[in-house]
Every structure is written in structure tokens, then in C-alpha cells.
Amino acid sequence: MNRSPLDHGRLRARLAEGEPTLGTFVGMASPVAAEVCAAAGADWLLLDLEHGAGGEEQARTTVPVAASYGVPTVVRVESAARIRIGRVLDLGVAGIMLPRLDTAAEVREALRHLRYPPAGDRGVATYNRACRFGLDPTALDREGEILGVVQIESASALAEAEAIAALDGVDVLFVGPRDLSHDLGVPGDFAAAVYREALERVRKAAAAHGKACGLLVPDGPAAAAKRAEGWTFIAIGSDSTLLAAALSAALGEARPEPRDHQETHS
């Protein structure tokens, strides 16, 4: 195989075999920040175009920078629009995360954008990174290498978790904790029974259909706990939250205890 920044389906194969993986969201619109996350040892990076600071042009630099450390890039697109998905696929990403889809029918339609005709409706071109700029037209026959990650972040999507997991092309069910907890009426309360039951339903739906399950957690201990429960596509924070938390903690340790400035009078 020629040297390439493409993942060639390795991440998808690892997850299909049940291997647990750990990654992080990158949204600072900085290739250096993405490189730092890759250098730190992440199994994958999740470039966030839904809430991140940059647009799809970030994939142009993130993919090769992360790949130089052997780390694949998955992209959360802004929407399930065909053009949004197709453009980042042409930039050579290893997979697509689809947000805010509430039904199996919506997911089925979005998955068509990951496949070339006749199986789908992805635009066909070879002068891009995904086809090594015209040097590898056989890449058009390897569309099955793309990882499909579908978010479960609403009560409606939760109700169809089993049907979504059953779809060909869905490789990972991924819980968005904030979105799902808000939609379930317990915003940010991750200890609430209704939220914990939702997590278990997603995990079981994925397992029943041989798919991976993933979610976002704030730190290493939380990731270890979810890994022990069987979650295999775990995101630990993001480039910005990890930086902010680390610096905040360091500053807290470095500064003296606040003094009592209350005046005393004799």
C-alpha cells in the first residue's frame, strides 16, 4: 500500500472486532491542537464541525496532521446534508458522525450520502485526497471503509435505537449526554434513572446488532468506568475543555490560599 494519510478502514475494523478505543473531540480550529491530541496517544480524533470553532476546511489540515501519528480523523458534520458529508469524505476522513437524527428513516437517508451510486448518492470525483488526487481510482470501490457513527441524543432517537442499530452502514451508536439528558427532561443530571436507563438501552441495542457504542465523558476515570461497562468508542472531553481544566487546576495549585481581607478594629 502506498503511503497515505487515509485510514483505509482500520478504525472500523477495530470497532467491529469489539476493541475499545479512546479519542477526543477537537474543535479549536487549530491543526497544532489536533496534532497535540494525536501525539498524546488518542486512538482517533473527532473533528467537531457542529459546535467547533472551524468549518470543513479544518479537515484539510487535521487529517494529515493526525495521520502522521497514525491517528484517524472522524468528522461530526454540521448537518446530514449530502454536500456537507461529501466534501469532508473527499478530504479523506475515516468516518462521519451524524448528529440530530431522530428516526431510522432519517438515518437510512443520510447513510446514502456515504455511498457512491447505485448504493447511494455521494458525488463521484477522483481528484481529491480520498482517491490520492487521481492516483488511486480504485478507492471508489472501497467505500465500505468509512465508519458510520450515529448520535442518539433525543427521546425520539432513543425510541428507535434498535432499528437504527440494525441498519447496514451504522457502525457506532453514540450518545450525546447533554442533548439526551435535556431531551429526557433531566438536563445535565447524568445520575437520573431515566438517563441511566437510556444509556443501557443504547448499549444493549448496539450489542444486539454487533455494533459499537460510544459516548462523551469528561475525564479518564469516567472513561475507564464506561470501558468496563462495554462502551468501545469513548471520547474524553475536547481539546478546549482538557486545556481549560488542566490550566485551571495548575493555577489553583500554584496560587496561595485566598486571604481573609476582613478588617479588624480595636
Smallest Cα–Cα separation from 80: which of 108, 116, 53, 45? 108
Task: Determine the pLDDT at residue 266.
Answer: 42
DSSP string for residues in 19-59: --EEEEEE-SS-HHHHHHHHHTT-SEEEEETTTSSS-TTHH
- For 178, residues 6+ apart whose C-beta sits below 8 A from its C-beta are 187, 188
Global pTM value: 0.94
Task: Determine the pLDDT at residue 90.
Answer: 97
Instruction: Report mean pLDDT in 10-residue bins for the chain, 266 residues.
Output: 86 98 98 98 98 96 97 97 97 97 98 96 96 92 94 98 98 97 98 98 98 98 98 98 97 83 49
Q: Select which of 8, 51, 182, 209 is catalytic.
A: 51
Asked if 186 and 179 count as a contact pair (C-beta separation under 8 A), the reply is no
Lookup: cell for 114: 456515504
What residue ranges define each of the domains in the chain, with the CATH number in brackets?
10-239 (3.20.20.60)
Asked if 24 and 240 count as a contact pair (C-beta separation under 8 A), the reply is no
Integer Cα distance of 55 and 27 in angstroms: 9
Active site residue 51: yes
Task: Calculate helix-pair angle for 58-67, 31-39, nearest 10 degrees.
Answer: 30
Asked if 117 and 30 count as a contact pair (C-beta separation under 8 A), the reply is no
Task: Determine the pLDDT at residue 92.
Answer: 97
Do you know the residue count of the chain? 266
